[in-house]
Amino acid sequence: MAKKVKEELEEALFWKKERNGIRDFVSAKEDFIPKGKTDFSMTRENRDNKLFALNFGRLVAMNVDKIEKSNLFHFNPNSDSLFIGLPGCNIKSPFCSEFELNNKLMHDNPLQAKYQYNIPEQVVAAAEKKNCKSITFNYTEPMVWFEFAFKTARYAHRGNVKTALVTNGYTTEEPIKKLGKFLDAVTVKIFGSGNLGLYEKYMGIKDVSPIFHTLKQLSKQKIFIEITNLIVPQMGDNLDECVKLAAWISHELGAETPLHLLQFQPIGVDIPPTPVSTLVRLAEESRRAGLRYVYVHATPSHDEESTFCHNCRELVVERKNSIVKKNKIIDGRCPSCGFMLNFISK
């Protein structure tokens, strides 16, 4: 990480004063925060009726990896990206990232997690120094550290560094509109095909519509979108719900929107792993619902992690464990039939 700089307190965005406190709009929870208290994520604090982002600049993770690790298969394939994460999440559940689940402080007291303070300019400089094509906001929930993500993305776009966001989509319209001006690609994480019972039981969310509003807003701003759907046995593996989601994506976002079906791996919860046969069947039905690019992520790696031409079924990008083994695409087209494929290289 970059050399140490002086830490500064950052005033948060997207809040308003209400009687006896502040209403925060960076999360769809729209937390009410009394004076001297923090939001659900424990990283945004009301100090004398002003909201401050206590997590600003506190990098708890910064690593170079292939962009495919963020489940972006069609955006600058096989390129290096600088992945960064700051403390905070607006959802706590057994479906959090492995990074969060393996770091107990991320849940219990995120501001106590070990970090190194960086300013946005340092992050962009690090990406350039490491020859990364992009910076990916990941690991936790970047919308909770909106202020840092926004300033970093804006600064990155002054040069030639692209930006990618990995989010659960549980936010409001204005933050997405503002950040979207400086975003190139987004992975939106959906759990159990959006099953409301699963969201309510494990995440305390009683309305999943904000996630779909986020997707539509991202599409409206012409940001490249890929979607993951974590298939959770017992509550989140319903065929009809998966098909309904696929049809919605095809109709609202476009048939070429990539969908990734993820295998659930239990960590601290009494739910079995998703059978590979379930994932394969859901992938087949998602294609029948109109989607051209549906991927299966499982252990061991599955053939349906690779990309096949929608027109002639030629293998065009071979992957194993999210690593590109062979890329045969020529100028965005299938080498066999010349069909234009939905891949972005910039």
Model confidence over 181-209: pLDDT tens digits? Answer: 999 999 999 999 999 999 999 999 999 99
- The single residue listed with the structure tokens 């002086």 is 6
* Sheet of strand 44-47, all strands in order from the earlier edge strand to the far edge: 10-11, 50-53, 44-47
Q: Residue 53 pairs with which residues in a beta bridge?
A: 10, 44
Q: What does the pLDDT read at residue 93?
A: 83
- The single residue listed with the structure tokens 């696929």 is 246
Q: Residue 185 pairs with which residues in a beta bridge?
A: 164, 224
- The single residue listed with the structure tokens 């307190």 is 9
Q: Dig out the tokens for 308 from the structure.
A: 């096949």
- Distance, first Cα to last Cα, the chain: 26
Q: Dig out the tokens for 145 from the structure.
A: 């550290």
CATH code for the structural domain at 58-305:
3.20.20.70
- 298 φ/ψ angles, rounded to the nearest 5 degrees: -150, 170
Query: Which one-letter DSSP state was computed for residue 3?
Result: P
Q: Dig out the tokens for 16 from the structure.
A: 């308003």
Q: Element (H or E) spanning 258, and its range?
A: none
Query: Which one-letter DSSP state was computed for residue 299?
Result: S
Q: What does the pLDDT read at residue 179?
A: 98
Q: What does the pLDDT read at residue 28?
A: 97
Four-point Cα dihedral 32, 38, 44, 49, nearest 10? 70
C-beta neighbour count of 81 within 10 angstroms: 29
Q: What does the pLDDT read at residue 244?
A: 98
Q: What does the pLDDT read at residue 102?
A: 61
- The closest of 131, 137, 144, 146 to 177, measured between CA atoms, is 146
C-beta neighbour count of 16 within 10 angstroms: 9
- Walk along the chain (346 residues) and give the pLDDT tens digit of each residue: 446 788 989 999 999 999 999 999 999 999 999 999 999 999 999 999 999 999 999 999 999 999 999 999 999 999 999 999 999 999 988 887 766 656 666 777 888 889 999 999 999 999 999 999 999 999 999 999 999 999 999 999 999 999 999 999 999 999 999 999 999 999 999 999 999 999 999 999 999 999 999 999 999 999 999 999 999 999 999 999 999 999 999 999 999 999 999 999 887 788 899 999 999 999 999 999 999 999 999 988 889 999 999 999 999 999 999 999 999 999 999 999 999 999 999 7
Q: What does the pLDDT read at residue 144?
A: 96
Q: What does the pLDDT read at residue 270?
A: 84
Q: What does the pLDDT read at residue 101?
A: 56
User: What are 42-101's pLDDT values in tens digits?
Assistant: 999 999 999 999 999 999 999 999 999 999 999 999 999 999 999 999 998 888 776 665
Cis peptide before 300 (omega within 30 of 0): yes
Compute CA 191 distance to the chain's CA centroid, rounded to the nearest angstrom. 12
Q: Identify residue 132 by its one-letter amino acid code.
A: C
As a whole number of angstroms, the distance between CA 70 and CA 55 comes to 22
Start-end of CATH 3.20.20.70 domains in the chain: 58-305
Compute CA 227 distance to the chain's CA centroid, rounded to the nearest angstrom. 8
Q: Residue 47 pairs with which residues in a beta bridge?
A: 50
